[in-house]
Structure 1
């Protein structure tokens, strides 16, 4: 049984290390995080690709996420190894390892994954509200380069890095329309006439 615990423990450790190393490597090489999707396979039983269960009409994040599963395996294997070396009863060791692993996985799910998912979801909703709004260029947007815009949402003025959606330069003080937000960059279109679709949030 000790070999089982050792195997389970190192599966969790190796997966964590591989994800961390490859994640930083791809970030360094400026490659898309989607390349690592093969390391983040979710259980698909009425669950979409983001791990969101829509089967009952409610949107809830699935507990079968890699972080939760790997945490369970690592703690289960580690506690099992400790219990085995301490010469504890195998049955007691098994249940102790299972209970502790379950508690750690549940804590990560409730206090880390769910808050992160809600924050991400809120951010997505906010972006949808911002797209189509009018903004003003604070610093010139050079051709095929970046500048800065200012916009007002819910009575609060915000600044953001921006790039012209058609690659053309936009002068300082010119009104623009926010057309897309990608990787934190606001892609805008110069406002030349009143026929453009404008949405303002004051």
Structure 2
């Protein structure tokens, strides 16, 4: 019995170290591993949650075996309950908030339709200029043409009406 708890404690601690170093890769692998589940429970099987649960199971089992007079079945049950509680707690207090805070800077140019922009380089009535568009947490500049066929001076706030052939067609904001 103690050998099982020592193995879980050691394996959990080693798994925590490996998760610290290779966490992103292991998280993606666990998504694919549990993708067959039709419910959204597979997120509970994140490596950090598993390593925490296994470690707590081993540590709680060792402490309960040594300092309580409970029979083996009671020690297993309480250790498993502690491990489940810590795993669920880690998921809801650490993993879930971190998943919500992830931010991507990737975007598609077609997503810019409807966005506000500012003209950097004046746009002639029948030519091209440049606009600055705020995307996510940053700014990006793109080639632009006038949607209405009128000249737009620099510094003018505009809205992207259409995206065609890599060019943003803009119109003045009224």
- TM interval, shorter chain, is 0.5 to 0.7
Compared with structure 1, are the counterparts of its residues 70 and 14 closer, same or farther at alpha carbon in structure 2 (3 Å cutoff)?
Answer: same
TM-score, normalised via structure 2 length: 0.58
1:177 & 1:198 partners in 2: Cα distance? 13
Question: Which residue number in structure 2 is paired with residue 47 of structure 1?
Answer: 35
Q: Do structure 1's residue 190 and structure 2's residue 161 form an aligned pair?
A: no
Q: After TM superposition, where is structure 1 displaced by more than 4 Å over at least 4 residues in a row?
A: 43-46, 134-138
From the CA coordinates, give the structure whose radius of gyration is larger: 2
2:48 & 2:141 partners in 1: Cα distance? 40
Please, which runs of 5 or more residues in structure 2 have no aligned partner? 121-129, 148-166
Q: Do structure 1's residue 98 and structure 2's residue 80 form an aligned pair?
A: yes
Q: Do structure 1's residue 75 and structure 2's residue 56 form an aligned pair?
A: yes
Count of equivalent residues: 141
Q: How far did residue 4 of structure 1 move? A: 0.8
Question: Which residue number in structure 2 is paired with residue 159 of structure 1?
Answer: none
Q: Do structure 1's residue 84 and structure 2's residue 65 form an aligned pair?
A: yes
Q: Are the counterparts in 2 of residues 134 and 175 from structure 1 also a CA contact under 8 Å?
A: no
Q: How far did residue 2 of structure 1 move? A: 0.5
1:199 & 1:82 partners in 2: Cα distance? 69
- 1:69-119: CA deviation from partner (whole Å, max 9, x where unpaired): 111101000101112222632222111101111111111222332233334
1:47 & 1:118 partners in 2: Cα distance? 20
Question: Which residue number in structure 2 is paired with residue 108 of structure 1?
Answer: 90
Compared with structure 1, are the counterparts of its residues 40 and 83 closer, same or farther at alpha carbon in structure 2 (3 Å cutoff)?
Answer: farther
Q: How far did residue 134 of structure 1 move? A: 4.7
TM-score, normalised via structure 1 length: 0.52
- 1:138-159: CA deviation from partner (whole Å, max 9, x where unpaired): 9xxxxxxxxxxxxxxxxxxxxx
Structure 1 or 2: more helix by fraction: 2
User: What RMSD in Å do the two structures reach over aligned CA positions?
Assistant: 4.2
Question: Which residue number in structure 2 is paired with residue 6 of structure 1?
Answer: 6
